[in-house]
Structure 1
Amino acid sequence: MIYREEENMSRMKEFQRLHELNDLLVLGNAWDLPSAHVLEKVGFKAIGTTSWGIATSLGYSDGEAIDFELQLAVIRRIVNHVKVPVSADIESGYGPNDEAIVSNVLKVANIGGVGINIEDSLKASTGLKPLSEQCGLLAKIRSALDNSGFGDFFINARTDPYLLHHLDPLNETMTRSKHYVESGASGIFVPGLKNREEIRMIASSASAPLNVMALPDLTDCEKLKELGVRRLSLGGSLYRKMTTLLEQCAVEMLDSHDAALLFK
């Protein structure tokens, strides 16, 4: 299977539609083609790449230590070999300035991606990017996509007050969410958010679909749906689970001096 322009436009519309249904979209997060194939095979309606998983699988640390072209190569391979929509996690954009980041987003769209996650955390230091700067970036991304014929491309604006232990994460998240949507974001992603009442408040105040990340005490899709969440991401948790199972199998084989478990 290879990417076709008309197929991608259809995938973009389908990805938008999945956020508009009266249901929770569970996004399977893949780090390579085999993991993407498994997610598609078992019935996930859309796939999101995990930048952490891709970087880790290729021997890099998280935080844009990997060259963007390596990330893009994995994204392209997944897009070209699955039929479901694929959204790309591009961290803060893998660029030294807005123009480079916008160019990277267009690269994702041009290879067949239907959306991105883009975050507002600083990379050179700890903290959040100034609100005006991130809004300006989102507006430039939206404008460039629209002008290139990608009006249905999904910009999932990730905001990190909860991950960074902001002094007032609720109000900071609500403020940023409002301005991000006004600047062109299609959805809001708040990793680290887990308080039920705060989830409800953010979901009800946001004028775009709310995406949260699965956490040990934040896994029940029906309860999340009741709180107003529209999308659940797995992040790197599936990758971690896979490596844990691999380690358990390896230990059992070494301890038992028997590889029978591989054929059960």
Structure 2
Amino acid sequence: MKKILVLALFLCLPASSVFAQNKELRIVTLNGTVSEIVFALGKGKLVVGNDTSSLYPPEALALPKVGYQRALSAEGILSLKPNLILGLEYAGPPEVIEQLKAAGLKVIIYPGLPGVQPALDNILAIGKEIGAGKEAQKIVQDIKKRSEQIAGKISKLKSKPKVLFVYHRGTSLAQVSGTETPADEMIRLGGGTNAVVGFKGFKPITPEAVIAAQPDVILIPTRGFESLGGKDGVFSLPGVKDTPAGKNSRVVAIDDLVLLGFGPRLGLGIEELYNSLHPKTSDKK
């Protein structure tokens, strides 16, 4: 009788809860932010592989890679024998995602919109899916607290610096961010204004456009900063040295996933950016 009762209770659990309790759960994450969320929730040991954008924590970086999130192959993912695939809307190509579903795998693709609320929603949803709801709530509360504190400080600012976000990797041409990008949203959250608002997305950097933008600060992810060889490399980019940022040597480099990931370290990223953009106000108690 007791066995029947236990079985009945088990069958009545929500599907996601039953799945999360599976001791054989094997997860493949298809995005660096998703990987970081799973590890931050204390479930990193369940991850058997991830994509090449999964740079943090070190344990995630050391796992087998299944390719870049936008150029995946079903074979590489299936070889890891996962039973849960988690990714953001960038994951693809679409036919690969359909192949994974056709193979009987549970594939969940979350929205990739930048912003505090979308980030909180993804953390809560992933936490619920993998049986880490309480841990997700803690992370969400921390992000809310930090972002609200910075928002309060921003509301008292008399002026905001113009920020030029530069993306550079390896030998590729440097690009700058217009509107409707994760960089654009982080600049706003950190108490700055985007120096480039004439287009959406990213465009290659040109001397004329950079000088016309007259940025007070150059913002760049750490990996790009390092690939350029530091400050000297940043100021050697077309037009940068002839801007207020170049003349005052103002460059802010922040870890790629902290700055653009909109994951569990979002609150820390907002704080770091605000303090870098407003060093005088951040020193005040």
Q: Same fold (TM over 0.5)?
A: no
Q: Looking at CA atoms only, which structure, 1 or 2, has the larger radius of gyration?
A: 2
Q: Name the TM-score, length of structure 1 as normaliser.
A: 0.29
Greater relative contact order (Cα < 8 A, sep 6+): 1
